[in-house]
Amino acid sequence: MPADDRLCLALDMSGRDEILALVDELKEHVGWFKVNSAFTLHGPDLVREILARDVKVFLDLKLHDIPNTLAGYARAVTRLGVHLVTLHTAGGIEMMRTAAASADAQAAELGTARPKLVGVTLLTSVDQQVLNDELNVPGSVEDELRSRAALAAKAGLDGMVCAPPEIPLVRGVVPDDFFFVTPGARSPGQSDDDHRRTGTHAEAVAAGSSLLVVGRRILDAPDRVAAALEVTAEMS
């Protein structure tokens, strides 16, 4: 797979025109674009405008609600035509299964493919201290990741979000074709910012990452095209 097909740029900005200009600037070098907080401001119309530029959209909603509500969300995002959506594994198997079944039914009705449904396990800002002392979850980060990964696979999700070093930890409890979305990958020497569990872009690809989510490394660069090319070179 070409490196740019594994690269996703997080559109961490609020202006609609600024976002669309950035997609236009980088769409030849970045295969995926992640929409999160801008969705709250601009809604589905922004997503449609990005999709019209023939790129893939990762709608990072991190859905977490009762099964019936997730069924409605799953139908909506499938109708919208995005390629990947996140939901929290903490919602349990019934919630995740309902979302997958509803997305499948809506896609069959429309005659289209449904988005990949990817489970959020532990945010990369969560470390051992936060897990045990603040969230009051006993055990290690690694054990919790494996448990949630197995839950996502059992529920029929397509993949999971996890930091680069954690992909080998969960290989034994998920299908071989599981889709790994890895935030927190960095260039050598780059600050970890607010990520606690990280790795380099090269390490992520070597571990088996399906999609690397990059934000500040490109967004804050004086030359964003050059920065995107540098990241794909590191991945290669």
Instruction: Tell whether the model's pLDDT for residue 184 goes beyond 80.
Output: no
Four-way CATH pick for 3-235: 3.40.50.920, 3.20.20.70, 3.40.367.20, 3.40.50.2300: 3.20.20.70
Whether 62 contacts 90, CB under 8 Å: no
Q: Catalytic annotation on 60?
A: yes
**Arithmetic mean of pLDDT, 39-59:** 97
Q: Catalytic annotation on 62?
A: yes
Query: From the centroid of its chain, how far is CA 146?
Result: 18
Determine if residue 215 is labeled as part of a ligand binding site: yes
What's the confidence (pLDDT) of residue 192?
Answer: 45
DSSP state of 213: E
d(CA 222, CA 225): 9
Which of 207, 227, 229, 211 has the alpha carbon at shortest distance from 219?
227
**What is the residue extent of each domain of the chain?**
3-235
How sure is the predictor about 1, in pLDDT bands with cuts at 50, 70 and 90? Answer: low
What's the confidence (pLDDT) of residue 189?
Answer: 53
Determine if residue 75 is labeled as part of a ligand binding site: no
Annotated catalytic residue, options 5, 27, 65, 104? 65
In the numeric block, the tokens 């900005």 are attached to 13
How sure is the predictor about 198, in pLDDT bands with cuts at 50, 70 and 90? Answer: low
Give per-residue pLDDT as tens, 96-119: 999 999 999 999 999 999 999 999
pTM beyond 0.75: yes
Determine if residue 124 is labeled as part of a ligand binding site: yes
**Arithmetic mean of pLDDT, 119-130:** 88
Rounded percentage of the chain residues whose pLDDT exceeds 70? 94
Burial class of residue 128 in the structure, from the number of CB atoms within 10 Å of its CB (0-12 exposed, 13-18 middle, 19+ buried)? middle
Which of 157, 81, 83 has the alpha carbon at shortest distance from 119?
157
What's the confidence (pLDDT) of residue 194?
Answer: 45
Annotated catalytic residue, options 24, 27, 56, 62? 62
Give the chain's mean pLDDT.
91
Beta bridge partners of 212: 7, 182
Annotated catalytic residue, options 4, 56, 60, 158? 60
Determine if residue 216 is labeled as part of a ligand binding site: yes
